[in-house]
Structure 1
Amino acid sequence: MRDAIRFWTSQRMASATDPSSRAARPHGWTAPRKRSSVAAGGSGEFFDGMKSVGVLFTTDKDMNAHYCTASVVRSAGHNLLLTAGHCVGNRAAFIPMYDHTKPAADQPYGVWPVREWFRDAQYASDKSRNSDLDFAFASLADDGGRNVEDVVGANALARTPGFANQVTVIGYPRVDHNPQDRAFRCPGVRTIALPAYNQMQIDCAGMWGGVSGGPWFSSIDASGDTGQIIGNVGGFMQGGPDVDTNDPLYNRITYSPLYGDRFFQLYDDAQNAVHNDHGAYQPPLLPYSLGKAATWKHAVTMTAGYYTGGSAGGTRHMDLIVLWDDGEVTLYQGADGNDPTHPFAAEYQLARRKSIWANAVSLSSINATGGGADGLVVRWNDGEVTQYATVDAKGFHGEKQLAPRNTPAWKNDARLLVAGRFTSGGHRDDLLVVWKDGHVSLFSDLAANGLAKQRQIVAKNTTWTYAGQLSTGSFTGMATDDLLVRWSDGEATLYPGLTGKSLPGEIRIRPRNSEWKDAAVVAAGAFTANTAANDILVRWSDGHVSLFTGADAKGLHDEVQLVPAN
């Protein structure tokens, strides 16, 4: 102990090197643009640190550096440390609330050598599901009869409640990208699932190499020294995305394993100073994942409805139908419950790639029967318009032709269409169409009238030629549906309670030149609760997918990232 303290001078502490893969600030990196308040690409902040959180150092013939972050956790022996599995190393020691200006002998809360490591025998530092086990404990030697918990306090450990949490993440970045060599935190950030893994992720710029093992606090005590931990920096590829070092996501996206049975088995082993192999890791059944941004770049259009047995007022979220650029059509079944990070439970292929649906130009959900099952209205590139009475996991049913092939107006002049309830007391089977010359018309009650009953609600103009995306929902509580328009300049507006008589006054929910210029595909629906279709799903131009929950006349509120940009 005393030899180590003499060796660790402040100059040697400052010569930090990091053996992990999260090693360096990417060349040319700049702070990412903030897009939302939920897993949003914001930046963290430097602060003075917490007594129960500190750095891990190791010494050998080649280096002396703080290479990971760790935290003191409650234990019977008052001597236990939590960090990442990939942070296990020889000749390690812990410095709580590390102060780089002081040599080891003058550190405010001492230097505590690691006496014994405890790590799951099945942990793998790679891309496999065994990276779910990237956590470890260490028992620390005492200091003249004192144990570390008695000096700095200890944090409580809790099972991770799920993939969606609000956390404060703390770590000590390496000195080459942290010249001040101070503690760093991302306060109050929202977590989402890492698809295909029992791990969660945050988006917060500044979590560079050295933060591995850092605690994810679900709450912090009034003292500011301890709290409740539900995760630690680690997991897939040692806690960060598998991207090139010059990618802006390299040290912005950070992962953590979820704490379940295996974690607490290891916690018990560490407290009892035993090493058990708990057998092959059996990953838990994961919630359905929408996949990756590279796939979603190919989504052409999408629409929401109750297709697979759900209904308004029930427990199921709305389903989503997606048309892809290769002619495939996919139905995503709405999930039960109120987890906005997982609004869908399963996926069904309604049409294969290179199917006739490659000729579909636009589609929108309708309710033509007045029952609980929804259908579709589709415009094809040859000018035909068809209606399907219902759609389910097995396909499209009850096809009815509304306009024959080679109908000039529908082939050459129709630009955008969306169905909704625009007649008070009617079904959701009215059709609004924006034409090439900017005029807007409404076809009422397709079930009874087909396309025979048309009324112009906006005359020929230049403004509506810039409408980019249409969707309908229940954002303002009116008797009829609201129309959501995303314009080509990035503005987004609501037209509340649209009827066939005239266009109501607009409500701007996003200004011109906003990030909504990149909103490539938009759909509204009841994706978090089936009481109102006031959630907005957006597929952005880079392929990532966001869900805005509870939009209303005041605008957009919480954003949940369903498909990350990486």
Structure 2
Amino acid sequence: MTPTPQLSPATVPSAVPSSEPAPSLSVSPSTANGAGEPSASPSASAGGSTGTEGGDGDWSDADAIRFWTPERMASATDPALPAQQAGPSAKARMRRAASAGPAVAADMPTAEHILGLKSVGTIFTYSADPTTEQMHAHKCSASVVESPGRNLILTAGHCSGGKAVFVPMYAAEYTLDKQTLGFYRISDWFVDNRYVHNTKKPISDLDFAFGRLEPSKSGKQAQDVVGANKLLRTPGYLNKVTMLGYPSSHDPEDHPVRCPTQTEALPGFYQIQAKCRGMWGGVSGGPWFSQVDWAKGTGQIIGNVGGYNGGGNDANVDWLTYSPMHGDWFFRLYDEAKNNQHVEHGSSYDQPPLPYSMGGGETWSHAKLMASGEYTGDGKGDLIVVWTDGEVTLYTGDGNGGFTGERRLAAPHGIWKNAKSLAGGDFSGGNGSDLLVVFDSGEVRLLPDVGTEGVDGGIKLADAGSIWSHADQITGGSFGTAKYVTDLLVRWSDGEVTDYTAVGDKGFGTEHQLQKPKSAWKDATLVTAGDFTGGNDWDTLVRWSNGRVSQFQETGPGGVGKEVQMAPAGSIWSHDSVMTAGSYDSNGWPDDLVVRWSDGETTMYTHTGATFGTEHMLVAPK
């Protein structure tokens, strides 16, 4: 598990380690964030034409310097943010911070000020209407990207249009003609013709744009001066990124900020979202780096601020920022920009198939119990989850460490709210895995082939009021009888541990005592099992109350096996709330560990052995 970072102005994180971290400023970041609260319609200066607006014939470097006085540069605002909302009042900030709630406030990162990155800067634009030049001039963020002409920038679609200049590593302390890395007029815009500004509809998936730059006054192309970033496809919904931009609407000094954070799906959209305070209006168009070299000043970009609602800030949420997925349409526009082509793509937008998302940490913090098995009978590992409200859900595995869909097996507020522990296994000999469940009352039921038969009814193995009310954890495995999962390990409330071999629809089979009552196992908080060592018997994994994690190798009727420590006491594993092991990836072996953490983050450790395997995030933390 990777905990959500809590940043301060002094910390200097980056997406990847660097020998020379970006210098930070001793400027306190804002205590609340967001990319801006979009207006119902864009200003006249934010036109999204795919052609040139105000070309070189009536727009020169001298014109830019004359127009962009320090006062005008200081008054620029993000086009996704009405001028009157650029700087929320103190009372408004207090209301917004309160609406986030203590759970959000505890773990959310905060953007920190830095001196900047060479390849990232600002866009200044003004409209042709002299009555609006001073009041509605706007500013966005942008980044130089690789191109044959060495002259392209990436920004948001709602930032395009008008007579504009790009200022790399913009420093508010200097006038336009004194900027360290110069400035570059934008002579052409490339925007998907179907894009509609600042909408909450799926068409906002297309909120990206490219600008073609003229050489600087010295005749150099921008890429030759500041370098260029590499554009990569957004690999999926869950990514670790560093967002970078200039939040001028709530930053009087007008310094850039960065925020290392975690992305997740924006449901219903071909977009991702990330939580971070301090990403105020002005960051629109700013890059989302998957990797960045702070010394070199460039990196790899998988997103940009934009999309739903102009990139962020619903009325009651200041701390969410959005990005379109960089997929087929994004790279089609990129190719057009590199080839200096303007292409009409019709009038309708057909949203691509959305990758399956398991949801967010807020939901998964309510996952109470989990059990692995091949419940659908297709040979791929599936996951059953019992939620705190009693709902039961089956997640269908894709055989490659992920999931393709979900299906409800039981509605909330039924008997499953009283489920205490459960285990998957092949107890009844059917086509799919079975589920064995212990209820708080002591009742135990075996549910054969739950993927097809469901979780109603089943076979009662113990009545309410039985000794099984003291069974705190159960886990299925192959503990000494056969290659199939027909055995059951039980950790009782008094610390006794027993192994039931050959469990089936006729009963619990043969009991073997592995640990006597009052043993150290009384402090075993979580127990699961898998074949981590490849021996004759499965291995048992225990998370103790102090955060220590142990693996007991070759558990069987003769004992719990050899103990190997996987994590020490006081480790981050004290936040492991639920875990199960199964076969989820392509090797077809039950050595993959699924963990739900206290903050809702859910991860899979594939190919786990005597040490934890490779970590893959399934659900981002809340």
Partner residue of 1:364?
423
The residue that corresponds to 1:134 in the other structure is 207
Counterpart Cα distance in 1 of 2:228 and 2:564: 51
Q: Distance in 2 between matches of 1:16 and 1:142?
A: 24
The 1:560–1:206 alpha-carbon spacing in structure 2 relative to 1, beyond 3 Å, is farther
In the TM superposition, residue 304 of structure 1 has moved relative to its aligned partner by: 0.8
Alpha carbons 2:111, 2:257 under 8 Å: kept: no
1:86 maps to 2:158? yes
Amino acid at match of 1:97: M
Pick the aligned partner of 2:387 from 311, 324, 342: 324
The answer on whether the counterparts of 2:554 and 2:562 sit within 8 Å (CA) in structure 1 is: no
- Per-residue deviation, 1:559: 4.6
**In 1, are the aligned partners of 2:601 and 2:617 still within 8 Å (CA)?**
no
1:179 Cα deviation after fit: 5.6
Moved more, 138-147 or 106-115: 138-147
Instruction: Go from structure 1 to structure 2 and tell me whether the alpha carbon gap of 1:63 and 1:86 turns closer, same or farther (over 3 Å shift).
Output: closer
Aligned to 1:4: 64
Alpha-carbon distance in 2 for matches of 1:122, 1:191: 23
Cα distance in 1 for residues equivalent to 2:74 and 2:606: 46
Q: What is the rounded CA distance, in whole Å, between the counterparts of 1:284 and 1:166 in structure 2?
A: 23
Once the two structures are TM-superposed, the CA of residue 83 in structure 1 deviates from its matched residue by: 0.2
Task: Output the CA distance in 2 between the equivalents of 1:346 and 1:393.
Answer: 15
Asked if the contact 1:49/1:184 (under 8 Å) is kept, the reply is no
2:398 alignment counterpart: 335
Is 1:236 the counterpart of 2:314 in the alignment? no
One-letter identity of the residue aligned with 2:372: A
Shift of the 386–74 alpha-carbon distance from structure 1 to 2, 3 Å rule, reads closer
Distance apart, 1:511 and its partner CA? 4.0
Report the counterpart of residue 383 of structure 1 in structure 2: 442
Distance in 2, Cα, partners of 1:222 & 1:284: 34
Aligned-pair distance for 1:375? 1.0
**Conservation of the 8 A alpha-carbon contact between 2:358 and 2:618:** no
- Would the aligned equivalents of 1:368 and 1:446 in 2 still touch at CA under 8 Å? yes
1:310 to 378, 382, 394: 378
Question: How far apart are residue 334 of structure 1 and its match?
Answer: 0.6
Deviation of 1:117 (Å)? 3.5
Give the structure 2 partner of residue 125 of structure 1. 198
Using the TM superposition, give the Cα deviation of residue 282 of structure 1 relative to its aligned residue in structure 2, in angstroms. Answer: 1.1
The aligned counterpart of 1:287 is: 355
Q: Secondary structure at the match of 1:262?
A: helix
Cα shift at 1:364: 0.8
Distance 2:86 2:331 in 1: 30
- 1:194-213 alignment, distance < 5 Å: 194-201=266-273, 209-213=281-285
Structure 1 counterpart of 2:586: 529
Distance 1:549 1:123, change over 3 A: farther
Structure-2 separation of matches of 1:503 and 1:78: 64
Q: Report what 1:475 is aligned to.
A: 532
Corresponding letter in the other structure for 2:596: R
Q: CA RMSD in A?
A: 4.1
| 1:260 aligns to 2:327 (yes or no) | yes
1:504 & 1:76 partners in 2: Cα distance? 62
Answering whether residue 177 of structure 2 is matched by residue 105 of structure 1, we say yes
Output one character per residue of 1:384-434: Cα deviation in whole Å (capped at 9) or x when no partner.
Answer: 32223422245259944322x235312x42222221111164421211112
CA distance in 2, matches of 1:487, 1:563: 25
Aligned to 1:538: 595
Deviations 1:55-92 (A, max 9, x none): 22346424877x42212335566543210123236453
Cα distance in 2 between the residues matched to 1:522 and 1:241: 35
Aligned residue number for residue 245 of structure 2 = 171
Residue in structure 1 matched with residue 544 of structure 2 by the alignment: 487
Alignment partners' CA distance in 1, 2:448 and 2:149: 67
Gaps of at least 5 residues in structure 2 are: 1-60, 127-132
C-alpha displacement at 1:192, in angstroms? 5.1
2 CA distance for matches of 1:47 and 1:476? 50
The 8 Å contact of residues 240 and 254 in structure 1, kept in 2 or not, is answered as yes
Look up the equivalent residue of 2:329 and give its one-letter code. Answer: R
Contact 1:378 1:386 in 2 (8 A): yes
Structure 2 residue 159 is matched with structure 1 residue 96: no
Partner of 2:611: 554
For the 8 Å contact 1:320–1:333, the answer to whether it is kept is yes
Does 1:501 find its partner at 2:575? no
Shift of the 184–377 alpha-carbon distance from structure 1 to 2, 3 Å rule, reads closer
Shift of 1:345: 0.9
| 1:328-364 deviation line (CA, Å, top 9, x unaligned) | 322111114x3x5xx1112222233444444543221
1:379 positional shift: 1.9
Identity of aligned residues (%): 40
Q: What's the TM-score, normalizing by structure 1?
A: 0.80
SS at match of 1:446: coil
* Cα distance between partner residues in 1 of 2:589 and 2:278: 38
Give the Å deviation of 1:523. 1.9
* Counterpart in the other structure of 1:56: 123
- Structure 2 CA distance for aligned equivalents of residues 457 and 211 of structure 1: 60
- How far apart, CA to CA, are the structure 2 residues paired with 1:24 and 1:438? 59
Q: Distance in 2 between matches of 1:462 and 1:179?
A: 62
Aligned residues: 541
Task: Give the conservation status (yes or no) of the 8 Å contact 1:293–1:544.
Answer: yes
Contact 1:168 1:218 (C-alpha < 8 Å) held by counterparts: yes
Partner of 1:346: 405
- Displacement of 1:49 in angstroms is 1.8
The separation in 2 between residues aligned to 1:505 and 1:178, in whole angstroms, is: 62
Task: Name which of 573, 576, 580 aligns with 1:519.
Answer: 576
Q: Secondary structure at the match of 2:330?
A: helix
Q: What are the ranges of 5 or more consecutive residues in structure 1 without an aligned counterpart?
A: none
Deviations 1:249-303 (A, max 9, x none): x2xx654322233224434555546473532211111222222444434433110
Match of 1:114 in 2: 186
1:153/1:226 contact within 8 Å kept = yes
Q: Distance in 1 between matches of 2:272 and 2:350?
A: 18
> Do 2:244 and 2:256's aligned partners in 1 also have CA atoms closer than 8 Å?
no
* Counterpart position of 1:406: 464
C-alpha distance in 1 between matches for 2:238 and 2:312: 18
Q: Deviations over 1:457-495 (max 9, x none)?
A: 111217433433222123344432222223344443322
Q: Is the contact made by 1:436 and 1:465 (CA closer than 8 Å) also made in structure 2? A: yes
Letter in 1 for 2:65: I
